[in-house]
Amino acid sequence: AAGVIQSPRHLIKEKRETATLKCYPIPRHDTVYWYQQGPGQDPQFLISFYEKMQSDKGSIPDRFSAQQFSDYHSELNMSSLELGDSALYFCASSPRPLETQYFGPGTRLLVL
């Protein structure tokens, strides 16, 4: 069965650079979620989208923005990167809001 696709899988950036993470949900899933998992930490919810509109917002820094496109894929844009942004970023999708979330493999971001 098709799963959530995230790209890139690994990314190395320097401080103050920008990064764009992409997420392709499972086909026919219209809801996308982003989570951040710091080293040794549990995943923390960042933001979610339903039908291309932001549906919920968590602990996402102002330096980050995200959007969902007409084909339901989503991009997380991160600017002015800091060392503390180094983490594993998960995308998840669900068929509709309030349904089970299925996670992608994650993008591991390292900020030097």
CB of 18 to another protein, least distance (A): 24
Question: Rule CB under 8 A: which of 20-39 touch another protein?
Answer: 31, 33, 35
**Cα dihedral sign, 51-100-87-61:** positive
Chosen residue from 21, 43, 78, 111 binding another protein by CB under 8 A: 43
Question: Rule CB under 8 A: which of 48-107 touch another protein?
Answer: 48, 50, 55-56, 58, 90, 92, 94, 97-106
- Structure tokens of 89? 């970023």
Where are the extended beta strands (E) located within the chain? 5-7, 10-13, 19-24, 31-37, 44-50, 53-57, 64-68, 74-78, 87-94, 102-103, 107-111
By C-beta, is 2 or 17 nearer to another protein?
2
Residues that bind another protein (CB under 8 A): 31, 33, 35, 42-45, 48, 50, 55-56, 58, 90, 92, 94, 97-106
